[in-house]
Structure formats: C-alpha cells, structure tokens
Amino acid sequence: MSLMKSWVESANSVDAPFPLNNLPCGVFSAKGTASEDEPHCGMAIGDFVLDVTALEAEGLLRLDGGPLLDVPFWNAVMEAGPEVWASLRAQITGLLKAGASKRFLVEDHLVALKKARLEMPFLVSEYTDFYAGRHHATNVGTMFRGAENALPPNWLHIPIGYNGRASSVVVSGTEVRRPWGQVKGPDHAVPAFQPSRRFDIELEMGAVVGVPSEGPVTVAEADAMIFGYVLLNDWSARDIQAWEYQPLGPFQAKATATTISPWVVMKAALEPFRVSTPPREVPLLPHLQEPGPMLYDIALEVGLTPAGGAETVISRTNYREMYYSTAQQLAHHTTSGCPMNAGDLLGSGTISGPDKDSRGSLLELSWGGKEPIPVAGGTRTFIEDNDTLTLRGHAQGDGYTIGFGDCAGKVIPALSDPYAR
Ligand code: MN
C-alpha cells in the first residue's frame, strides 16, 4: 500500500497525519458553517475536515439504512457493520481522490481543521479496561510484589480487565481536575481523605466495537466486530488505587476521567500495519488463540508540558508490545455471555516497552516515585498541577502516515473542598 493521492494537496505529504488512506471519523463544529448550531460528523483529510453529514444530506453519500450521519455521533454507522464501513470509505475515496469529477460539489464541505472544535466522536455505551501489556504488568508487579511474583498466576492465560465508567470518557482537550479520594494512613491509623498526590497517566490504545454480539464470539469474530481505534489515556490516581483495589480492582482511582483522541481510525486504514502478538510463553486455551496477526505497528509517545513551559517527550513505545490483542480481549469479554454493543470502548492496558524510556506510565517511569525523571524546568515523579499530558501515535506507511490526532489533557488543581456547597 502506498500513498493514495487526493486533490486536497495538504493530504499528500509523507508526514501528513490524515492522507486519503486514513479517513478517520470525528465530530466537529465550526463557526460560520452548517455545523455551528449542532455538531456534524466529519472525516479528516489533510488540513481539513470533510462534512460528511452535509454530504449525506445532499445525496452525495448514500449509506444502506441511512440517513446514518444526521446525528452528532458515529454509532449508527458503527452498528451498520463492515459492508457499510467499506461502502463509506469507497464513496469518500471516490469523492476525494486526485482527479475526482465531483470535486466542485465537495469543496464547499471542507472546513479548515484549525477552525473546527472537535467533540466526542461517538457515544460510549460501556468502557472496559485491560491490563494486557507484559512489560507494564511486570514492572508494576515487581514494584508491589517483587520480581518473582510479578505476574499474577492468571496473567499468561487470560487478558485481565475491569469494568470502567463510560460516563468518565472525555475527548482530547478536556481539562481533568485532580481528584480527591481516600488513601491509606500510617499502619493501623485511620485513612486520609485528600487530593491525590500520585496522579498518573496510562498510555493505551482504545478499540471501538461496532457490530454488537450476544453470547460468546471467537477471536476472528471479535476482530471483525471492531470498527476502529483511538489513543486512550486512562488517568489513574495511584495512591487511591493502592488503598481501594483489593480484592475487587480499581474503582475511584480510575473514575475521574479517561481521555480519547478525537478521531476514530477505522480498522481498514490500519490493515497494512498488522503484526502478531509476541510468542506465547504458555499456550493459550483454544478459544483465545489468534488465527492471524491482530496487533498493529503503531509508534506511540507521551509529551509532558508544564504550565508555560516546553514539552518533554517522556516515553516512546509501540502498540505491538502488547501481549494480548484487542480481538483476544473482546473474545474473552464475551465468554460469559456478556453482550457487547456498538460504542463499547476497550482500553488495551498500559503499553510499556522493554526499555526504561518506553514505559507508559509515570508510576513506571519514576519507579514508584523513587527515581524522578527530567522534564523542562525540573523533574517529575507524578503529575503536577497544570501539567498537560499529550499522547501521540502514528503508523508509518510507504510514503504516508496514519495519525490519530493528539490525545491531550491538562490537569487542573483539586478543589479546595470537594463537599463545599
Ligand atoms: Mn488502564
């Protein structure tokens, strides 16, 4: 696969994140356009967002079962299934490719990205987060249980997860307020209720389920259900988590916010970048074995920018480091008969690489707060007030790039008293 040329010139450079090969799905509004009063669905192309809500309304885009884009979220398209996804991409490609005859009808529906306000791209029906990165699980396990018991006994057999809160998922650019919570006191003393002092990120990918399911599905069926992927930051209050998580897992530590990138990159755009999960240390039970490569080669990085300061890239890693793919996680998720719905969001788990500078959380980067890391103008163990954390990711094709848009959030100070009325 090489660059597909578009008449939108800014889409044709090797490092443009939104070439014709990508066509990610978002929701936007822009002053002075048809989307000013209610946001529209759009697909990014070069330096623009293409107003696909308007294209469908004018009959330039026809989707089976439509209209599907007359609401400010992509769920109806997602639920319509793989044939509609392919038809959407084929029609938009036909309208935007170099030499397209309908260019003069489409040009009016391009809105400059810098004028567009990006909203949540879909309604999150439910949110599940996993713990499926081996380097992350090993690092965290070593810190809390020692190197010999780093991985729990189930870890090499199932992708461990917990049910998160759909209501807490926000789009990039949303400020995140430092949470209060109950944390462990000195031995046998009463715990304290205070603002989190160990507020952290988790660098993850999020998969968005399109096709619903009832009952168990195979890994291959699970892969076919996935509509696309986003970058995902699972904000985590480590001090709250350490006190609350036994024996039922994370609860309030993970409920403040989870930030996603504004563009859902459809699975079709990522096909050329499929890679296999690493070799299995122990064979998986048959229902979790993969029939083919289901991870993706996506380079990832995290930038930390203090208030008024310069950004430092604090981590560089790759999605291919995961031990379990989302297809395996989704298959596992359904083994109990759990129904899955369009708009289900699955966090991959923190994506850490094997090296010190490829760790996907500050907990690991600062080794539990013991080894501060350098950032512009100082050091960090955990996030300080008014730091902005930015996740970026891209797949590098032959002469083109597939980008996701930044997944950024600024941490603003805790309230002085969360119960003040
Ligand atoms: Mn997580």
In the structure encoding, which two tokens stand for residue 154, read together?
Answer: 């189930």
What is the residue extent of each domain of the chain? Answer: 9-119, 127-412
> Nearest 5 degrees, angle CA 253-CA 255-CA 256?
95
Looking at residue 333, its pLDDT comes to 98
Indicate the class that CATH gives domain 9-119: mainly beta
Low-confidence stretches of the chain (pLDDT < 70) are none
Looking at residue 188, its pLDDT comes to 81
Q: Are 203 and 173 in contact (CB under 8 A)?
A: no
Ligand 1 centroid from CA 206, angstroms: 10
Ligand 1 centroid from CA 226, angstroms: 19
Q: Give the pLDDT confidence of 15-50 residue by residue, as tens digits.
A: 999 999 999 999 999 999 999 999 999 999 999 999
Ligand 1 centroid from CA 236, angstroms: 8
In angstroms, the CA 142 to CA 129 distance is 21
In angstroms, the CA 135 to CA 302 distance is 17
Looking at residue 359, its pLDDT comes to 98
Ligand 1 centroid from CA 34, angstroms: 38
- The active-site residue out of 40, 109, 135, 136 is 136
Q: CB-based contacts of 385: which residues, under 8 Å, 6+ apart?
A: 178, 307, 411, 412, 413
Looking at residue 1, its pLDDT comes to 86
Ligand 1 centroid from CA 326, angstroms: 13
| Residues pairing with 333 in the sheet | none
Residues with CB under 5 A from ligand 1 (ion): 129, 202, 234
Ligand 1 centroid from CA 90, angstroms: 35
Ligand 1 centroid from CA 96, angstroms: 37
Q: Give the pLDDT confidence of 83-96 residue by residue, as tens digits.
A: 999 999 999 999 99
Is 136 a known active-site residue? yes
Looking at residue 165, its pLDDT comes to 98
127-412 — its CATH code?
Answer: 3.90.850.10
* DSSP one-letter string for 62-83: --TT---SSSSSSHHHHHH-HH
Looking at residue 306, its pLDDT comes to 98
CA 353 to chain centre: 17
Ligand 1 centroid from CA 201, angstroms: 8
> Nearest 5 degrees, angle CA 276-CA 87-CA 16?
60
First to last CA, the chain: 59
